[in-house]
Amino acid sequence: MIPMAVVLAGTGAAIAPVTASAAPPTAAVAPCPTGWGSLPEDRTAPGSRPLVNVRTGAHPCYDRLVLDVPGSSAAHPPGYHVRYVDTLVQDASGRPLPVRGGAVLEIVVTAPSYDPATGTPTYPARSGQPLPGVDLKGYRTFVDTRFAASFEGRTQIGLGVRARLPFRVIPLDGRLVIDVAHSWNATP
């Protein structure tokens, strides 16, 4: 009997055997972080350097808001107060500001959006308006942003999210990070 490979080789056809190892690999799905909650997170600290930028990023398990505060560090971050509120109420004026979404996360950081020595703006936001340069198209959790105020060395921002979801606050060198999970369970 002639081996099949020799016969097929003589016909000019090539056949690759199909085995279990030839099946496409399946990607392992990493679980999302757990242990976050939706209760307020606070850190008391003296005023810090000015806020210079706000940016966002989408991740498989959460959406991220980053407040750039050069000169701060993980060891010496700015003070902050992050919590869910029924209505975003502007510091000093007491004026309610509309923020779209199923829930509103209020972010207050002890970093003014201006140079305290000169009053010169360091972050070009306007009260009641979306955050400049932040585009939330394609985000799973983030719906809206609003700049509320920068008053007496504190900056207040409203973050509209799809629902009241777990979040965490991470002080890093030069920035303060707020992550909001896509869901309450541990899968992406």
pLDDT digits (tens, 9 = 90+) for 114-163: 999 999 999 999 999 999 999 999 999 999 999 999 999 999 999 999 99
Residues with Cβ within 8 Å of 12's Cβ and at least 6 positions away in sequence, in order, are none
pLDDT at 19: 38
pLDDT at 34: 76
* Cβ-contact 161, 107 below 8 angstroms: no
Cα(61)–Cα(17) distance, integer angstroms: 39
| Order of strands, sheet of 167-172, starting from the edge strand that comes earlier in the sequence | 53-58, 62-68, 175-181, 167-172
| pLDDT tier, 29 (very low <50, low <70, confident <90, very high otherwise) | low
pLDDT at 31: 80
- 17 compared with 52, residue with greater pLDDT: 52
pLDDT in tens, 41-90: 999 988 769 999 999 999 999 999 999 999 999 999 999 999 999 999 99
The CATH architecture one would assign to domain 36-181 is Sandwich (2.60)
User: Rounded mean pLDDT of the chain?
Assistant: 86
The CA-to-CA distance between both ends of the chain, in Å, stands at 55
